[in-house]
Structures are given as structure tokens and as C-alpha cells.
Amino acid sequence: MEIREPTLRDRPAIRDVARRSLQTSYPLEPKAIIGAIEEWYDETRLRELIDDDEKLLLVVEKDGQMVAFSDSILSGEQTGEVLWLHVDPDYRGADIGEQLFEATREELADRGATNLQGRVLAENPDGNDFYRGQGLTKIGEESVTIDGTTYVENVYADTGGEGIEAVETDEGTVYVDHQSAETGSIAPFHVVYTEDGGGEIYGYWCSRCDVFANAMDAMGRIQCDECGNQRSPTRWDAAYL
């Protein structure tokens, strides 16, 4: 078995693995699957993914046949996101997904990622079990549109055990709780506390950019100045600042 980066000749095989994987893993209509493949993995899109240094595609070749691939991105400067990990149904249960995940994790780390996230539709119980089996923790939910229909997407992260990360600021040490997440318009926000055990809220941490998001607009929304990610609070609370 070989894990490698794809070439342009691999594009038809990537599309086929994605189609077979989606058909088996999700209760999607055939039209939705075709639409998803055309949107994410058409010939032009795959060419762009292969050539883009901020994107990472890894494929698994076994006995001369492509049987799996991962689709990832390095967002911000430190977060590696596994957007999709597809394994041909005929090759599942052979540790291929686990080996591909570890290879993807290592390559993202080599490219500078210190945080890892994985995404999977809520309707895929095996995919959710897979990420939990790799030691990741669900930190939030987002939405993804497939062929005009919106689905819930669970976001998992490698929280490093307790999931509390100490971060130095000009005002001293604060603590990012990676297991506490709230939905943002682009990516989850993590609560930042002034003390290790919780307590007073210092602000929020944008998981897409790995920066503090303490700016509040006139409507009371927490906003990340780097990417525009927004969190709409359910109530006004001065502690959010």
C-alpha cells in the first residue's frame, strides 16, 4: 500500500472513490451525490486542489488501484482541517482509513499545523465513530450545503486530553477551552477564560484563524477581524468583552 500526493491522472479515480463512499455512508439522493461530486471534485476543481499549496490531497493506492483519499486544508497559520476522508467501501475495515488519517495528520504538521480538526456529516455514524476512535473530540456543529440542501456537519478536534490551552497575552495568561465551542458563521468559536478552571470569560478564540475574536459589532455579534467569522450571542452580556 502506498500513500502519496495525487497527479492529474488520478482525477477520475478520486471522483469514483468519492462517489462510492458517499453512496455507502450517507442517505443522499443520487442527484445530490452527483451534484456534490461535480461541485467539489470536477476536473478543474481537482486541478486547483492539486496545485494549491494550502490544500492537501493524499491518495491511497493498493494493488495498482486507488482505494481512498483525504481532502484537507491548512487554515489560518496553525489549524489543519480534514474536510473529507473517503475510503472505497470494498476496502473498509482493513485499517486503510486509520493509516491515511495518520499520514494526513503528519503531513499537516510538517506544513505547520499545530491544531487538528476533522469534519463529518452528522448523518454518518461510522464517520463520527471514526474520529472519536482517533482520539478527537466533538467541539461544535456547522452546516454544509450539498446540491442546495443544508446538512449538519460535526466538527472534531484534537484537544490534547483536557482540551485546555494556555495562551500568553499582553495582559497575562488566558485559557482556551477547545472542548467548549459555539457555532460561528465560518468556523466554531472556543470560549477563553481568565483562569485555568473556567470562571470569568476573557473572550473567544476563532478556530479558523487561531486568533482572539474579542471585537463586537454594533449588533452585539462577536467577530473575528482576520476572517470575518461571527458569533451571534443569544443575549447581551458584558462579560463577552
Out of 95, 118, 141, pick the residue that ends a domain: 118
Give the type of residue at 50: I
Main-chain dihedrals φ then ψ at residue 225, nearest 5 degrees: -75, -20
Main-chain dihedrals φ then ψ at residue 183, nearest 5 degrees: -65, 130
- One domain, residues 33 and 105: yes
Out of 99, 118, 137, pick the residue that ends a domain: 118
Per-residue tens of pLDDT for the chain, all 241 residues: 999 999 999 999 999 999 999 888 887 788 888 888 888 888 888 998 888 888 999 999 998 899 999 999 887 657 788 999 999 999 988 899 999 999 999 999 998 888 788 989 888 888 999 999 998 888 777 777 777 788 888 888 886 655 677 788 888 888 888 766 677 777 778 888 888 776 677 888 887 777 887 666 555 567 888 888 887 654 333 333 3
Residue 127 belongs to a domain: no
The CATH number covering residue 86 comes to 3.40.630.30
- One domain, residues 21 and 81: yes
Rounded Cα distance, 133 and 89, in Å: 19
127-164 burial code (b ≥16 CB/10 A, e <16): bbebbeebebbbbbebeeebeeeebebbbbbbbeeebb
Residue 144 belongs to a domain: no
